Structure 1
Amino acid sequence: MEYFVYGRDLPGTAELKAKLTEEHWAFMDGYGEQLIARGPTLTGQDDDAESTGSMHIVGLPDVEAARAFAFEEPYYKGGVFESVQLYRFHNTLGRTMWDFTDAVDNYGRYLLLTLDESTPAPTPSKHLIVYGDLLAIDTDVRLGRAVLAEAPDRETAATLLPAGANTPTEVHHWSFGGRR
């Protein structure tokens, strides 16, 4: 099964997160073959952008393993996150971020997230990296969608996942993650 995990940074924890980054990467190294996508969400796309969260899509055997992944993670245990969202994920494209080869210069990368079961599928585009349904942790009930995509700007990215009837779509700058 695949799971979507998004830890939202607690304001004022940038220094703590920086101190825990190597421990975080070492933890993630243990899941290298199971990761579908990973990376930080950011305040912007420029070099001085600050982290706002940490997103992972990972294949794991069961809910217990998913909870361990989410809540044994060093940023979580260290107090970096304000909250952690954990959902089952249905990977509609069936690929990983490493399979994405259509990158365009001067396009940014974005995480689009909506927690509205009425949200329609994303607009078809060669700029979709990974997308899928967010499902309840223990049932097949669709709660929303998550999309990783590239676009020339935030406004264009927002159009790739139309808002549902009840909840607006969140648009976060996102970067491929991993050791640098």
Structure 2
Amino acid sequence: MEYFVYGRDRPGAFELKMSLNGDHRSFMDGYGKLLVARGPTLTGDGDDAESTGSLHIVDLPDAEAARTFAYEEPYYRAGVFESVPLCRFHNALGRTMWDFTEAVDGCGRFLVITMGESDPAPVTSKHMIVYGELLALDGEARIGRAAMVEAPDREAAATLLPVGGGRTEIHPRRFGGRPGAMPAG
């Protein structure tokens, strides 16, 4: 079962987060082959962008293992995060971010989250890196959708995921992990 874990940074915690990068990466190394996606969300698209959160989609046996992953993580334990939404993830594309091969020059990467009801029809686009439904931890109730997408800008990213009656968030992001490393598997 796959789980969506998005730690939203607490205001003013950037320096603390940066000081814990080594501990965070060591913790994530233990989950390497189980990770579907990982990486920071950012304030903007430039090299000087600061982190606003940490996204992880991970394949784990059950909700208890997902809670351990989310709440034993060094950033969480040190108080970096303001909140950590945790839910099931139904991976509609059935791939990891490392399987994405359709990259287009000049495009940025974004995390798009839509909460609430939306058209249940599947979304298809060559710009979807990872995409799926967000479900309650018990897997019963559909609560939204999430996608890592490639797009020229925030506005174009917003058009890739249909919006229903809920709210939509769009966060610039980049692939995470140790430079040049892919998960073992």
TM-score range, shorter chain: over 0.9
Contact 1:121–1:161 (Cα < 8 Å) also in 2: no
Matched, 1:9 2:9: yes
How many Å apart are 1:125 and its aligned residue? 1.1
Q: Percent identity?
A: 69
Mapping for residues 10-89 of structure 1, pairs under 5 Å: 10-89=10-89
Cα shift at 1:168:
2.4
Gaps of 5+ in 2: 180-185
| 2:173 aligned with 1:174 | yes
TM-score (norm: length of structure 1): 0.96
CA RMSD of aligned residues (A): 1.1
Aligned equivalents of 2:119, 2:86: Cα separation in 1: 19
Structure 1 unaligned spans of 5+: none
Q: Which SS does the other structure have where 1:28 is aligned?
A: helix
* TM-score when normalising by structure 2: 0.94
* 1:97-176 paired onto structure 2 within 5 Å: 97-121=97-121, 123-165=123-165, 167-176=166-175
CA offset at residue 118 of structure 1?
2.8
C-alpha contact 2:10 2:81 (8 A) present in aligned 1: yes
Q: Please tell me whether the aligned partners of residues 38 and 57 of structure 1 are also in contact (alpha carbons under 8 angstroms).
A: yes
Letter in 2 for 1:177: G
**CA-to-aligned-CA distance 1:99-144 (integer Å, 9 cap, x gap):** 0011111100000001113354564210100100000001321100
The one-letter amino acid paired with 1:88 is: R
